[in-house]
Structure 1
Amino acid sequence: MSSLFKDLPSEHPRKLIPSLCQQFYHLGWVTGTGGGISMKLNLSKSQCTPMFMLAYRHRNAGAVIHTHSQHAVMATLLWPGEVFRCTHLEMIKGIYDDDLKRYLRYDEKLVVPIIENTPLEKDLKDTMYAAMMKYPGSSAVLVRRHGLYVWGQTWEKAKTMAECYDYLFALAVEMKKAGLNPEEVPNQ
């Protein structure tokens, strides 16, 4: 890190964002130019800004994370419809439902809208907005063959949910590969 920023607190975006990007890179969520992080602090805009602003304006988010997680991409390929669904998985408890204003229980159904990718990132805005309006409880939107946008009240909550979503996508993909249905309520 440049000595120019050495006196900044660790929570300052010039230190925090690179630190988070380093963590996300090692998780395989952001690679090269793939992915991004935004915080509502009047910094210069990225190509993801229109999607970040949707979460800030329509979900009162304090932070938005965009990843190119392989697990998210695989989930969009194995769920051909407009939503990813799973239930009865422990990490669902780490997902905040914007409509219910609470975290989900493990035995509730997690529903994440999936929108189609576009050649230009900015062209995702209208379909992402439509998905957010159709699924007001969702704190994330999957982009087919692309990745995930996830938001939370703080960067910590957005990061925690990104980790939970990634775990759930990975597990659901493995369940499908094993012939199990992640959307099905298990026999008690």
Structure 2
Amino acid sequence: MSKSPLQMFRIFLMLLGSHGIVSASPILLIENGLLRGAQGVDVQGVMYNVQFEKIPPPVGALPFTTSDGALRASEALAEQVFLGIFDEAPLQTRGCEAQDACYVLTPYFFHDVPDPRWPAIDTVAFINQASPGDADSFWTVTAYPPPQGFSNSTFATWSVAEVEAVPEPGTLLLVVIGACVLVLQRRHSHLRKHVA
């Protein structure tokens, strides 16, 4: 028994709906073979851009103000950014000069200090290790970076991404398919009336 165009359309919609929500991967920013950051990193439903810098971000430019928020951001780096060739290659991250491991520091609090050249910054460290198969590890650490930065770490400087509203291509496709089904259904019923 052949299916009518309407039945076929219903089956198509059920299959389309069963695939769930589609999410985009971050865009990696690579310069001269070095990972210098990423755009569109999803941290608990909010999109962020991140740059890797040798020196800490300026005071007041911290989108994460708790260790929990910084931990979620560091986990997002591990799950969305440090993949593929960058997963076990610390030297391929801007700011890292150590071959065995790179500490990617997400700052969340600046301490008041007498000498601003030697800040005290609470961070969550994500360790990108060169050893294959090592599990990702995170911990909270207070960093006292010298003006030139550390050789085995880089600061993750985060900013909220400005997201433009872009119409989903699937919506237009569904409208076109729906119109085609309606046209086919009318033709089919019109032909039945003339044949009978």
Q: TM-score, normalised by structure 1?
A: 0.29
Write 1 or 2 for the structure with the bigger share of helix: 1
